[in-house]
A and B are shown apart, each in its own frame.
Chain A
């Protein structure tokens, strides 16, 4: 309070609100309200409990398995949980999962950005909507159908490409091919790329659509070509959105099960060449080993599932945090 102002009589201090009044202010005094609030808060908490339960129960079984394991769980190149002594490790699975997802991202991200730009900036107005709609629908095609298509249509069609890669790029070692059916990590990567295209495209498209019109018009007014507009105003604005879209795609690719299980012919060793059989993925290994697993085997598979869970949790969490940050700090809301 300013000292110079003449002292006004102090206003009567209001009575501190009773708990009853506080409740009334929050609108939770009536029994109906209280029940409803409890119900809805309860379901929210239930969701958190489920997440926690997933972590706890997987860890429980995983701990069982790992304590039985005679070898190092992270560095062993073998999967024999029923042997005497049980020996198993996730090194091969981690390798296969990471490599196939990286291939998928390397193919899918540029193509998805291309499609997203096509829909927002290149396609004729009338076509943009329907194309976006079709891509939405394709996101709904189940992975089992992608797997069927991959195994029966894509694999035979890749023989030529494999031969070609082997002939001209075989000297790198990465693209060496010994002539088996093309059911290797590269094929898996290509199939995963096709599967994660729709989600990356959809998210990037939304971001590109939000680019302030002013930025683009300013660039155009300075005489920029369409590509320069995209490079100078659309891509910088959309960068973080595209990154998080790619991470969402990565999350999908990491956890994809059936399509990989149907296309890959897994082996339990690591091969430098992407075209020859070598490696498997976490999810694929669980699906294909499950029906012959005993109790020990199951626990071992659950342990590998826990690793997958942690990895996808990290990837998705990071993606969401990037999106959140962008929401808060993007100054361009024109």
Chain B
């Protein structure tokens, strides 16, 4: 590249000229400043715009300078690196904003009163009221869905791993995978047409639970299957060699070994269905009153509560505050489930025979 390095320092001639490490940061800072300057001058008010301008400036700037000093290939490498950083930042901004806004707006009305009272006699536009009825409904519906889908899911996974050979198990595997992708609203419509339209049952928490368990089943099967596959074959063989029947081997050796992972999978599945809204809207309907019987009459539920507070409020303050607070409760619940599940996974990871 440059003649000076070639003539006086021979070893470094093996390496092309490189820009110092702070180069990328300097260009980044420069382009952000310039982007802000341009948008201030042009009177652009959206933060998305100056960020886009700054990103474009950064990419062009670093490519130009690097291509002159280090060569085209290195310059391309720099472009790729910065594009990948940009992609990462692009993704982080909305996600960070989501968490930030939910917490900021949610804590306004979130307190003991909010958690322990229903919306019974509170109209949508007034302050006050709470989510007790919705919390109760969600816990019951999700609980029933779990009770339905865990035994079926775990048994299916056992069939696939311990017994399944041939066409039947291949078909089940394929359809479990496909089932994972069923839109929640379609599951809701199915139960609607079977349970409510054809069998003539009314709205109830249980109808919602059935739709939720359709969504939960494939997740439970997949995660349990993965966990059972991790159980070393030596354990099964040792048990069978002692003359223990296969079913007892599965119950006493295979399942206990993988119980940690299965629990994790179930908790992640619960976390996934807790936030489902659409099927509940079709099947459980809505109420502002406390209904603790999941088998009769509409029930409240947390996701639908958020939707109602959002949709029926006419854009007025108190209802929005309640919607955000309920969203915060929902996210917190799901995140805690997730964290605990992963904690269990790490704590009880199956020992893989080594």
Contacts and interface: CB of A to CB of B under 8 A. Distances in A.
A47 B152 contact: yes
B185 A41 contact: no
A32 B331 CA distance: 44
A114 interface: yes
Contacts of B217: 47, 50
A214 interface: no
A54 B247 contact: no
A160 B278 contact: no
A147 B309 CA distance: 13
Contacts of B24: none
Given A30-B245, A141-B334, A298-B192, A118 B88 contact: yes
B46 A157 contact: yes
Interface in A220-268: 225-228, 230, 248, 251-252, 254-258, 262
Contacts of B86: 114
Contacts of B189: 58, 286, 301-302, 305
Given A114-B86, A227-B80, A255-B183, A149 B73 contact: no
A310 B263 CA distance: 32
B177 A320 contact: yes
Contacts of B212: none
Interface residues of B, number: 98
A122 B83 CA distance: 11
A227 B77 contact: yes
A51 B178 contact: yes
B258 interface: no
Interface in A125-150: 131, 133, 136-138, 140-149
B26 interface: no
A36 B81 CA distance: 55
Interface stretch (B1-9, B57-65, B119-127, B165-173): B165-173
Nearest to A195: B94
Interface stretch (A5-13, A270-278, A311-319): A311-319
Interface of B: 44-49, 73-74, 76-77, 79-81, 83-88, 90-91, 94-95, 97-98, 101-102, 151-153, 155-156, 158-160, 162-164, 168-169, 171-172, 174-187, 189-190, 192-194, 197-198, 214, 217-218, 221, 240, 245-248, 250, 268, 271-272, 274-278, 281-282, 303, 306-307, 310-311, 320, 323-324, 327, 330-331, 334-335, 338, 342
